[in-house]
Amino acid sequence: MKAAFSSEWLKLRSVTSTYHAIGSAALMVALGVVWTVYVSSLAVERGSLRAAAPEEGFLPLVQISLAVLGVLAITSEYTTGMIRTSLTVVPKRSALLLAKAGTVGATTFVAAQSILLVTYATSRLIAGGRHLGFNDDSFADHLPMLIASGLSVAALALVGLGLGAAIRSTAGAIVSVVALLFVLPGLVNYLPPPWNTRTATLLLPNLVPQMADSRLSSRLGDGFLPPWAALLVLLAYPIVALAIGYYLLKRRDA
């Protein structure tokens, strides 16, 4: 198992797509700076302003960028035929997928958490003493949201890995992740009440504020989940995706 993890870590850091994905996610820092400068200028004119925190508003950019990393961790091997070599080195397919999941999960969580913390720090530094809403609370108040956001990124990257193992197509897996993150939340709005809000509480984009026990979760109504339940639902996403991916990986030839 140790050799499998070492091999997957070597493969992940030796391909340029890893750095492209992390670089795309890191654009959050630049966008956060631009956003903070903009709302700060408005606050000077108006005296005070309530604006969305950049680490929350630009979170989908980090999520989708690093989800692509999870997808490419396995679909690129099918494209190049490297999957046969991987299965020769690690014949046990459960060990191979577990090693990929551990490597992708750890890498994306550390990358996302670093990007979120840098975005948080730079935006508050630029905001200074201006009242922008998102800089009124202390770091301790924002820490649960930052950790929940990092966990959501790692979870979505593992979902991408599972879908990539199941679909074997980079485009197909990425489209599925995009649908899960952006399309499905819009579709549930057309469900009759109260099923629209009940279903919305279980969707990945809405789990972050619920895990952080944020006041933003109140927009889901009285049925929003407690933090521990929201965390369990979040963990269910990659577990189900990886289980499906493993089942199909085991049944099909490389």
Tens digit of each residue's pLDDT (9 = 90 or more) over 205-233: 999 999 988 655 555 555 678 899 999 99
Cis check: omega of the bond before 194, within 30 degrees of 0:
yes
- Evaluate whether 245 touches 165 at the Cβ level (below 8 Å): yes
pLDDT tens across 109-159, in order?
Answer: 999 999 999 999 999 999 887 777 777 778 888 999 999 999 999 999 999
Tell me which of 42-56, 75-89, 206-220 is least confident. Answer: 206-220
Q: Is the pLDDT of residue 3 over 80?
A: no
**Distance separating alpha carbons of residues 68 and 63, to the nearest angstrom:** 9
Dihedral (CA of 196, 188, 148, 129) sign: negative
Residue 239's pLDDT band (boundaries 50, 70, 90)? Answer: very high
pLDDT of res. 163: 97
**Distance separating alpha carbons of residues 250 and 183, to the nearest angstrom:** 30
Residue 7's pLDDT band (boundaries 50, 70, 90)? Answer: confident
**Distance separating alpha carbons of residues 13 and 16, to the nearest angstrom:** 8
pLDDT of res. 26: 97
In degrees, rounded to 5, the angle at the alpha carbon of residue 209 between the alpha carbons of residues 204 and 212 is 120
Tell me which of 7-11, 100-104, 129-133, 196-200 is least confident. Answer: 129-133
- pTM of the predicted model as reported, rounded to 2 decimal places: 0.93
Tell me which of 40-44, 63-67, 165-169, 213-217 is least confident. Answer: 213-217
**Distance separating alpha carbons of residues 148 and 253, to the nearest angstrom:** 37
Residue 42's pLDDT band (boundaries 50, 70, 90)? Answer: confident
